[in-house]
Amino acid sequence: MKSFLKNLKISWKYMKNQRVKFFLYIFCNIIHIFISVLVPIISAQIIVKLTNNVLLQVLELAFVLFLVEIVRNVIVYFSQYFSHKIYRETFIVIQRELGKEILKIENQCIDKNSSGVFIQRLTNDTSNIADVFNVLNIYLTQVLTNVGIFGAIFIINKKVFVFVFIMITIMYFIERKRTSLYNEQDKMYREKGEAVSGFVGELVRGIRDIKMLNAEKSFINELYDKVKELNRCRYIMTSTDRNYSFLRGGFHDLFDVGMIFLLVYFIYTKEITIASALVVNNYMSRVTSLINYFGMMLDKLKSFNLSATRIFSILDSDEFTKEKFGTKELEDVKGDFEFDHVSFSYLEDRPVLKDVSFHISPKETVGFVGRSGSGKSTIFSLLCKMYDVDSGHIRIEGVEIGDLTKESIRGNITIISQNPYIFNLSIRDNLRLVKEDLTEEEMVEACRMACLQDLIDILPDGYDTIVGEGGVTLSGGQRQRLAIARALVQKTKIILFDEATSALDNETQGTIQKAINNLKKEYTVLIIAHRLSTIIDCDRILFLNHGKIEAEGKHEELLKKCDEYKKLYEAEMRK
């Protein structure tokens, strides 16, 4: 109960802009409660007047009932209007906030979790939170309405009331047990759902590789196992619901038969009139529905509590660690930074970088060379503060990276990877993603410097050409050049190329190299190279081996003083 109230309180703040509508919604439901209690009373009076053959009063009551029903329909209309507005606006706010918080989660934490964890919570759980106050209102309205009728039976005959109370209590405990079991099973079902969503996401993203590997059968079997387990959990939930519904239905039938025998007995002993017995019998369906509504309300509230716990663990808890940034803003970034005795490991006791130190000057072009696993890409990740160092210091413009704001770091650095992600949008929109107010002149200039303009000139829709998911309609080199243009549009002072030409043919590599050369002396450019031919003209080259900088200098200098570098270069020349 304590956690439920806490979750409800947190949810309330996301309705900040909808509270006036919410109170109007409550007002409509209060009127609806009053009308719902009044209608059976008028209906009961019609039955009494009919049995007494007072037909004129029957007609008068029928007209009053007609007017009351019109008012009820109007109230229901506005109630539904406010309900839908509240749900829609609150849902948008919660999804937006959750999306923002997911993007703040540390990479180490993201690495440990399936994407399904975040997909399910962002798409499904947010709906339960957005709807909780509407649900509370709806079911409380129904419960209170039927409680009022329950009180009316007490007034008519106290012995009948006692019988109803006993039966209702038994059905309440059955329903409470059902919802408790159902909630535990729902928790497991959602965890399995996250696993399925994560796997489906991987399947879709890797569909081309799956086809090339001829591994469709293995992936389908794996998907089948996960879906089968998910549906097993779902079957357990529906079985629980079915079994307890059967038990509750049995008591309901017993209740109905018992009530008929009881009313017949009281009519026989003259403890109740026939008219009153008809009124009580008319109320019975409403009284027994009290437990149904109560059970549905428990289902919804427990589902809300589970969803809220899952979402608030992302929004406001230590379960998902968030990135931390400083408060210092860099006004004029020139591209100067340094690593000072930096050590780092992804896993404990398995260091990737060991006491690495180097300094990069503004507008310098520096190459990073080394065998796979030597720590080259890790340097780029640390520079962008994707991870925090274990020890040592990283400084940008002389300021400790931990003291800087996110915008000061990532707003001034762009990474172009071997496989840059291109969005399923037009070329123009891909560029506008990083700068919403991008002008036509800026876009053309960025594409010219990235050697992309020749491609755009021959495309049927030019800049408005849709490139497909992941840029599937473009070649590897064209995707690289679009990524370079995107970096130029962003106007960052530091551009990092993470093996950007390693998977390209020589002709395409030459085009990319030309684009990189256009950036020299204008930007601070760092290049991780698989092919040494791409970095031999760099101002400096750093050679990494087993997480340490083993040597540095120009290409000719390294050939003379670093045997490992010389071996790599000679091996490439022999190819």
The domain 2-315 having CATH identifier 3.40.50.150: the answer here is no
pLDDT digits (tens, 9 = 90+) for 421-472: 787 788 888 888 878 788 888 888 888 887 888 888 888 888 888 887 667 7
Structure tokens at 36: 């719902």
Using alpha carbons, select from 42, 17, 30, 11 the residue that is nearest to residue 78. 30
Q: Which of 89-103, 254-268, 394-408, 552-566 is least confident?
A: 89-103
Residues 494 and 501: their CA atoms lie apart, in Å, by 18
Please give the pLDDT value at position 504. Answer: 53
Structure tokens at 527: 């290049």
| 211: exposed, middle or buried (Cβ count in 10 Å: 0-12, 13-18, 19+) | exposed
Phi and psi angles of residue 257, each rounded to the nearest 5 degrees, phi first: -65, -45
Using alpha carbons, select from 410, 385, 380, 394 the residue that is nearest to residue 324. 385
pLDDT band at 505 (very low <50, low <70, confident <90, very high): low
pLDDT digits (tens, 9 = 90+) for 142-158: 777 666 677 777 777 88
pLDDT of 40 strictly over 80: no
Residues 415 and 418: their CA atoms lie apart, in Å, by 10
Residues 387 and 384: their CA atoms lie apart, in Å, by 8
Range list of H helices, 356-450: 376-383, 406-410, 427-432, 440-449
Residues 187 and 91: their CA atoms lie apart, in Å, by 22
Q: Is 339 helix (H, G, I), strand (E, B) or coil?
A: strand
Please give the pLDDT value at position 400. Answer: 92
Enumerate the CATH 3.40.50.300 domain ranges in the chain, comma separated.
337-574
pLDDT of 341 strictly over 90: yes
Q: What is the mean pLDDT of residues 237-248?
A: 84
Residues 354 and 357: their CA atoms lie apart, in Å, by 9
pLDDT of 79 strictly over 80: yes
Phi and psi angles of residue 462, each rounded to the nearest 5 degrees, phi first: 55, -130
Enumerate the CATH 1.20.1560.10 domain ranges in the chain, comma separated.
2-315
In angstroms, the Cα distances linking 2 to 178, 184, 186, 335, 363 are: 21, 18, 20, 52, 58
User: The domain 337-574 is classified under which CATH number: 3.40.190.10, 3.40.50.300, 3.40.1500.10, 3.30.70.20?
Assistant: 3.40.50.300
* β-strands 391-396, 337-347 pairing: antiparallel
Please give the pLDDT value at position 212. Answer: 60
Q: What is the mean pLDDT of residues 70-79?
A: 87
Q: Which of 19-28, 204-213, 562-571 is least confident?
A: 204-213
In angstroms, the Cα distances linking 436 to 429, 433, 452 are: 9, 6, 20
Angle, CA 310 vertex, CA 307 and CA 313 arms, to 5° = 140
Q: What is the mean pLDDT of residues 83-101?
A: 81
Please give the pLDDT value at position 565. Answer: 83
Phi and psi angles of residue 540, each rounded to the nearest 5 degrees, phi first: -150, 155
In angstroms, the Cα distances linking 77 to 73, 84, 85, 105, 324 are: 6, 11, 13, 43, 48
